[in-house]
Structure 1
Amino acid sequence: MGELAPRQSNSGDVKILETFLARNPSVEYIRYQWIDYSGLLSARVATKSFALSLGRKDSPLTIPSPILTALIIDDSLLFEDIEVGQDELFADWSSLKVCHYAPKHAMVMCFVKEGGRKDGKGFRRCPRSRLQELCSSVKGKHDLDFLVGIEVEFYIFDESSGTPKPVNMVAHAYSAASINNKYLPIVEEIVDCIQKVGIEVRQFHSEGGPGLFEISTQPMAPLQSADALVYCHETIRNISRKHGLHGTVYPKPFEKLSGVGSHIHLSISRLDKQENFLAGLLENWRALAAFYMPNFDSNLRLRPEEQIFWGLQNRTATHRKIKDGHWELRSVDATANPYLAMTAILTAGMIGLEKEKSLTMKDPKKMVFESMKDDEATDLGILYKMPTSLKAAIDSLKAAEELKDALGPELIDRYVKVKTKEEENFGKLIGSERREMSMRVF
């Protein structure tokens, strides 16, 4: 595919910014935001006047090259990849939102154009650009649309003593007792803040841990859903901090308590192609884990020897079919770059659709709390298991030739390099050190 121009998403329409500022006179600062290959949300804060001057001149904000693909969670850099030159942030003004969790601030998500002197790839490594490009291409080629809803899970916990501690509340999932406490107003404030910017929340409830909650968003187009998830995460962190607590979406904050997922509800409009699409997802799901479970400790929230399979209304399946063309993808966690993860997941599904892969795997039609025996799994066409480590996920990705070809070497090579370095660095730490480091940013 050719290089994406950010104009395709109204990035250059400064009238959106001017109208927004007129309607929100309290806004003084604009956060230019992007998510890098480590899954970290980054921001440059521009004054209102500077953002307007950039917009009116149709100019990007510049950052060091290639900060998008060279920064590790532990704040180390892949120094060998740092180059002379700079990258450019093109604000997508259609994503502009008031930061109701941060007075005077608004945020805008950006397309990142690499301009490094030797190895700049334009927009080809930008996750947000690639997701937009993919959805546009699929619509034009196959008249197919996607909708994505997210189950946003998070812990609220207390770290006033210097050590993370669960809050004191009833931990029964869904029970009324688990929301009849002083933390309910905090969750309500989070939901109110999210809804004020037009992100529709369907419901919220407690999960199976003290301080563990879930907020479900209304399905949106993939790009807008990823933007909404970024806003939700920032709201959770900032509102929790306002009340003297810590909010995290890290997958395993407490060793003996429930993990934190970020389940995706994915729908496709072409029901005649749903089995081909699902076949592509299942075949590549182990390799895709490098994108949707990218933290060193992501696998800690999974059952041992968890198998990859689909099932109708089966919450023990990695792919729960809810109805025709609608699945819940239950393996995903919130340390993933949502743009990268969704691009990779949709690409895998489209491989199945375009190559007309047959869905040979059968629904076991039962809950699977422990792995099925090999002969039973083989009879059902269940051939793969979830990776048990980040290294195993990376190795699976490196072996997935169709997926790698579809995503392209410019994305795959650098992503594998970043995650391999991250795995190496985190492997030298003990679990508490890894948790502390990741929970600072997730």
Structure 2
Amino acid sequence: MSLNHIHGVQYTPSTVSNAASIKAEDLETLGIGNKLSGAPWSSANRLQAYVRLTWMDLTSLVRYRAIPVSYFLKMLKSPRPGAAVGKCILGMVNVGFAEDFSLMGEYLYVIDPTTLRLCPYEEGIASVLGWFQEKAPVLGLDGHPTLEVEVCPRTILHRVVEHARKKAGVEFLVGFETEFILLKSTNPIEAVSYHDYSASSGLPTGSIESRVLREMSDALIKAGIEVTLYHPEVAPGQYEIVTGPLLPLEAADALIHTRETIINVAVKHGLKATFAPRVYMSSPGSAAHTHISVHSLNGPQKPIDALSAVEASFIAGVLKHLPAMAAVTLPTPASYKRVMDGVASGGTFVCWGTENREAPIRLTNAKSPGSRNFELRFLDGTCNPHLALALILASGTAAILDHEELTMKDCPGPRSAAQLSATEREALGITERLPLDWDSARANFASSAIVDETFGRELKVKYLSVNKLLGKTLEQDVTELERLTRILYRFIGLSRGVPVVEFWFCCTKSFPVRPLKMSHRKYEAPRHGSLGFLPRKRAARHRGKVKSFPKDDPKKPVHLTAIMGYKAGMTHVVRDLDRPGSKMHKKEVVEAVTIIETPPMIAVGVVGYVETPRGLRTLTTVWSSHLSDEVKRRFYKNWYRSKKKAFTRYAKKHAEDSGKSTARELERIRKYCTVVRVLAHTQIRKTGLSQKKAHLMEIQVNGGSISDKVDFANGLFEKPIDVSSVFEQDECIDVIAVTKGHGFEGVTHRWGTKKLPRKTHKGLRKVACIGAWHPSKVMFSVARAGQNGYHHRTEINKKIYRIGSGEDEKNASTEHDITKKAITPMGGFPHYGIVKNDFLMLKGSIPGTKKRVITLRKSLMVHTSRRDLEKVQLKFIDTSSKFGHGSFQTFEEKAAFLGTLKARA
């Protein structure tokens, strides 16, 4: 048996190359700009191609500008090909700028052709990096004219690498492990899978995660980035892609391309890939472990049994300045939730150890000089790799130049530094810890001499400034869950608004968790109940009032914006969900729906409004010639005594002037008004309700000119308004109604206050102080007994699943369920009865009790989300009895099953 212990792939700076570098003229032959497949070549069917001019700013956010290949080739003919960018671009966080950045001045972002790579994950796309430079020469720090910019991350790293090669005679190779979590959903947080470390169940054949990881690896290899392996990690949905070593600048460039590839391939498959440091607090976080090997240009070969002199000095320098590097390698407050002792993150003590994953620096392949390297475990996916490598390599190079000795002893285990006693750690030379929070890391960074030497004053000040703004932005939320959500979205490639979501901790292995800050109940439950609907008083009217109508667009056809109906009840439907990316996509779902009976409304008038400094003011109201008794009842408390004289003067006036006054008032509306609304009432007699008094409301007319609106409203006089003329299927609308009343109730049920535990005696239902000494009154925001329910509420974005016709005896049938049945369930809707008229089927529940009048309004917002634009195809509508547990959909089905009843025999 051979005892040769040399192992691992042997890499040297002379054998690695940036294989991704392609020539601009080769873009077409390598897949950019190819002709359409299967079609003869011509300029007409040629696929347009683009090059993304990419950079990473000081907050680690990747930005790019897409340039057509034709123009990109023209740019390369310039002596300094590039694009102008504002100097503020490096200091942006969302839409704000850090305090040391302004909108004045521009850099020239000069293209670096050696970084040109294909983006195989999207057809016709390539990517290229560059250098931030001044447009015209300026005096540098040495007093000589220069074009270099002191805040360009790639320039800083290039300068450090060249300094190490020329002054110290060393070169470095760098490789990265990129850890990330694949999510199916971000609200709530749901990982694509749950698996063990490197378990085959994490990448089963045919699964979406297996296809995604395979495509990521293929895309990186096609782009010229060597992939050594990929596998499932420990946390839910966590995976790792390891790329081969390159020279430092090329390695950092390749890491940016790797992250972009991971994000874009995940999005292609409806997933989200996040580099957030720690999504699940019960599992390890995601890091960016960095492997560095040190190679002397002219020195002796590396010994087998010990570190070489340059390796020892290098690691001594990194350990010396490790606390100052954290602000760059762990740049966000969330980064310090990953770096803890005992969670396989590298720990918090400044030390190194052979094959010790609980040390910030792990020496791996110690006895194999050709593959020996240092794994730096104190970096995560939120750092800028160019800045992080620049600071790490500068620290090691300075120690090599000073011939520093490695005095700290190896800490190989089996116990980690955190498990050793203070005396044992001191014996090994372990005396310092990494900063445990973001503020401490920034303080160490600000006072570090190596930072001044490497970054210079300008970059140091600007980095601290933009890092401060980033940290405050990520920490602006009150609760820990909201903060985790924000950091998740920041490093997931999404830019939309950040919802507050619930995080599911679904790992079977338990890890120690740092106690959350602000655990006092004043942060957890600062008050009882919501302040969003104060005061909690009875609604002033039984019908929901429209307080604002949708914005008018004169370019659209004239149309009504609202209608009224009566709540009949609820049932459920079955349909196939058409929502790519959802776990229920193309699967059957059961959803609750509300049925609202909407008999045609009758237009009986028009109101014109003029705009004044204090808002809209009524100019005039025009009524139709005839009004039905059911709407006349609305104007009188005692209809029996009033009906003989009701509206007699009004009717006489219309009979005498033959409509001249109506025409005159309509002309005034055309001339002076800016808003036109139709007066319309319900036909409550057509429902099964016992009420005889119709409900009357104003409905705003939108679209077209004022003259068009008046003609439209006049044409509706005394004519029915069907719900199908106002709304369409699959449209999202707003529901305005009054909730179910519960009368006067106590503070416990009304505000949700908790009953205190035993032995509290008289304070059993107390809710704390009822107010300050000034103002000397009890505010309505204080939890107290009072009216509960019968509140005015508006619910937005209720999707219409069906607009049914009352004349259709099959208005509850579908293409899959062709049974002849009406929407009314067997036995009728409880407390309502039979739906005889047109109806709306809305998703979910709505406020109010059965029989209550409901105001339905067109949505105030424009819907663009995939959920709102989804086309709904119902497969089944339940019409079984709602009294008890109904078993039959129709009376015919019941008769066929039970046979003839004795009473009818």
TM-score of the superposed pair, with normalisation by structure 1: 0.90
Which ranges of 4 or more aligned residues in structure 1 deviate by more than 4 Å? 114-121
Q: Tell me, yes or no, if the aligned pair for 2:474 and 2:486 is still in contact at 8 Å.
A: no
- Name 1:101's counterpart in structure 2: 121
Question: Judging changes above 3 Å, is the alpha-carbon distance between structure 1 residues 371 and 283 closer, same or farther for their aligned structure 2 residues?
Answer: farther
Matched, 1:417 2:442: no
Within 5 Å, which residues of 2 pair with 1:299-318? 299-304=336-341, 306-318=348-360
- Name 1:207's counterpart in structure 2: 233
- Name 2:98's counterpart in structure 1: 78
Q: Distance in 2 between matches of 1:296 and 1:172?
A: 28
Matched, 1:388 2:430: no
Matched, 1:56 2:63: no
- Say which of 140, 148, 170 aligns to 2:166: 140
2:408 is matched by which residue type in structure 1?
M
Matched, 1:290 2:327: yes
Q: Distance in 1 between matches of 2:419 and 2:399?
A: 26
2:476 is matched by which residue type in structure 1?
K
Alpha-carbon shift at residue 274 of structure 1 (Å): 1.2
Alpha-carbon shift at residue 83 of structure 1 (Å): 4.4
Alpha-carbon shift at residue 141 of structure 1 (Å): 2.1
Question: Judging changes above 3 Å, is the alpha-carbon distance between structure 1 residues 416 and 114 closer, same or farther for their aligned structure 2 residues?
Answer: farther
Q: Distance in 2 between matches of 1:104 and 1:436?
A: 34
Alpha-carbon shift at residue 60 of structure 1 (Å): 1.7
Q: Distance in 2 between matches of 1:137 and 1:306?
A: 31
Alpha-carbon shift at residue 428 of structure 1 (Å): 2.4
Q: Tell me, yes or no, if the aligned pair for 2:22 and 2:114 is still in contact at 8 Å.
A: no
Q: Tell me, yes or no, if the aligned pair for 1:281 and 1:348 is still in contact at 8 Å.
A: yes
- Say which of 328, 334, 341 aligns to 2:375: 328
Q: Distance in 2 between matches of 1:156 and 1:321?
A: 30
Matched, 1:349 2:396: yes
- Say which of 316, 328, 331 aligns to 1:279: 316
- Say which of 279, 292, 295 aligns to 1:253: 279
2:399 is matched by which residue type in structure 1?
G
Q: Tell me, yes or no, if the aligned pair for 2:168 and 2:397 is still in contact at 8 Å.
A: no
Matched, 1:130 2:156: yes
Q: Which has the larger radius of gyration?
A: 2
Point out the more displaced range, 132-141 or 217-226. 132-141
Matched, 1:92 2:112: yes
Alpha-carbon shift at residue 441 of structure 1 (Å): 4.0
Q: Tell me, yes or no, if the aligned pair for 1:115 and 1:122 is still in contact at 8 Å.
A: no
- Secondary structure of the 2:450 match is helix
Matched, 1:437 2:492: no
- Say which of 32, 39, 51 aligns to 2:53: 32
Q: Distance in 2 between matches of 1:127 and 1:229?
A: 14
- Say which of 190, 193, 208 aligns to 1:165: 190
Alpha-carbon shift at residue 154 of structure 1 (Å): 1.0
Q: Tell me, yes or no, if the aligned pair for 1:83 and 1:117 is still in contact at 8 Å.
A: no
Write out per-residue CA displacement over residues 148-204 of structure 1, whole angstroms, 9 at most, x where no aligned residue. Answer: 0111111111116x32212233x2101223222512121111111111111111111
- Which 5+ residue runs of structure 2 have no aligned equivalent? 1-20, 35-47, 141-146, 297-307, 342-346, 492-905
Alpha-carbon shift at residue 278 of structure 1 (Å): 0.7
Q: Tell me, yes or no, if the aligned pair for 2:100 and 2:465 is still in contact at 8 Å.
A: no
Matched, 1:44 2:44: no
1:365 is matched by which residue type in structure 2?
P
- Name 1:23's counterpart in structure 2: 30
- Say which of 413, 418, 422 aligns to 1:374: 422
Question: Judging changes above 3 Å, is the alpha-carbon distance between structure 1 residues 64 and 402 closer, same or farther for their aligned structure 2 residues?
Answer: closer
- Say which of 199, 203, 213 aligns to 1:179: 203
Q: Distance in 2 between matches of 1:409 and 1:80?
A: 12
Point out the more displaced range, 341-350 or 370-379. 370-379
2:350 is matched by which residue type in structure 1?
I
Question: Judging changes above 3 Å, is the alpha-carbon distance between structure 1 residues 114 and 296 closer, same or farther for their aligned structure 2 residues?
Answer: farther
- Name 1:9's counterpart in structure 2: none
- Say which of 218, 224, 233 aligns to 2:244: 218
Q: Tell me, yes or no, if the aligned pair for 2:356 and 2:411 is still in contact at 8 Å.
A: no
Q: Tell me, yes or no, if the aligned pair for 1:253 and 1:435 is still in contact at 8 Å.
A: yes
Alpha-carbon shift at residue 421 of structure 1 (Å): 2.5
Question: Judging changes above 3 Å, is the alpha-carbon distance between structure 1 residues 15 and 108 closer, same or farther for their aligned structure 2 residues?
Answer: closer
Q: Distance in 2 between matches of 1:229 and 1:237?
A: 12
Q: Distance in 2 between matches of 1:166 and 1:175?
A: 16
Alpha-carbon shift at residue 427 of structure 1 (Å): 3.0
Alpha-carbon shift at residue 85 of structure 1 (Å): 2.1
Q: Tell me, yes or no, if the aligned pair for 1:264 and 1:330 is still in contact at 8 Å.
A: yes
Q: How many residues matched?
A: 425
Question: Judging changes above 3 Å, is the alpha-carbon distance between structure 1 residues 119 and 247 closer, same or farther for their aligned structure 2 residues?
Answer: farther
Alpha-carbon shift at residue 116 of structure 1 (Å): 10
Percent sequence identity over aligned pairs: 27
1:35 is matched by which residue type in structure 2?
M
Q: Distance in 2 between matches of 1:427 and 1:435?
A: 9
- Name 1:67's counterpart in structure 2: 89
Question: Judging changes above 3 Å, is the alpha-carbon distance between structure 1 residues 229 and 23 closer, same or farther for their aligned structure 2 residues?
Answer: same
Point out the more displaced range, 315-324 or 227-236. 315-324
2:193 is matched by which residue type in structure 1?
N
- The structure with the greater share of residues assigned to helix is 1
Q: Distance in 2 between matches of 1:392 and 1:48?
A: 47
Q: Tell me, yes or no, if the aligned pair for 1:347 and 1:403 is still in contact at 8 Å.
A: no
2:129 is matched by which residue type in structure 1?
M
Q: Tell me, yes or no, if the aligned pair for 2:411 and 2:417 is still in contact at 8 Å.
A: no
Alpha-carbon shift at residue 371 of structure 1 (Å): 4.3
Alpha-carbon shift at residue 369 of structure 1 (Å): 7.1
Question: Judging changes above 3 Å, is the alpha-carbon distance between structure 1 residues 245 and 378 closer, same or farther for their aligned structure 2 residues?
Answer: same
Alpha-carbon shift at residue 403 of structure 1 (Å): 3.5
Point out the more displaced range, 178-187 or 146-155. 178-187
Q: Distance in 2 between matches of 1:18 and 1:441?
A: 36
Question: Judging changes above 3 Å, is the alpha-carbon distance between structure 1 residues 427 and 441 closer, same or farther for their aligned structure 2 residues?
Answer: closer
TM-score of the superposed pair, with normalisation by structure 2: 0.45
Q: Tell me, yes or no, if the aligned pair for 1:84 and 1:117 is still in contact at 8 Å.
A: no
Write out per-residue CA displacement over residues 180-239 of structure 1, whole angstroms, 9 at most, x where no aligned residue. Answer: 251212111111111111111111111102211111111111111111111111111111
2:484 is matched by which residue type in structure 1?
R
- CA RMSD in angstroms comes to 2.3
Q: Distance in 1 between matches of 2:60 and 2:416?
A: 31
